Amino acid sequence: GAGVSQSPSNKVTEKGKDVELRCDPISGHTALYWYRQSLGQGLEFLIYFQGNSAPDKSGLPSDRFSAERTGGSVSTLTIQRTQQEDSAVYLCASSLASGPTGELFFGEGSRLTVL
């Protein structure tokens, strides 16, 4: 597709279950980002992938959160043993250029609800 694609668009899960969120970036974009958007809290940076470099995981809130990017393209964000405070919209973005000058293109997000 032409834009960043995320799936599922909505996910409802029970507390304690694991969830996987998928991001398919724009073809050719080397940088990929995950953000979390909670009500009234803006966007919280989670993790950043750039090419084949080690990812910047500095924004991950706990060790229950992990992400991988296979083949430099599709990325999966995994949340283990979900908690109610994990409920949020998880946004993925990709960028053609590395560094702070590249425009980020965002997907429509995956809304996670933990019951």
Whether residue 57 contacts residue 6, with contact meaning beta carbons closer than 8 Å, is answered with no
List CB contacts of 56: < 8 A, sequence separation 6 or more: 47, 48, 50
**Is 112 an interacting residue with respect to another protein (CB under 8 A)?**
no
Span 58-87, contacts to another protein by CB under 8 A: 59
The one among 26, 79, 88, 93 contacting another protein by CB under 8 A = 93
Chain centroid to CA 57:
11
Whether residue 80 contacts residue 18, with contact meaning beta carbons closer than 8 Å, is answered with yes
| Minimum distance of another protein from residue 81's CB (angstroms) | 26
**Is 90 an interacting residue with respect to another protein (CB under 8 A)?**
no
Residues forming contacts to another protein in the complex (CB under 8 A) are 3-4, 31, 33, 35, 40-43, 45, 48, 50, 56, 59, 91, 93, 95, 97-104, 106-109
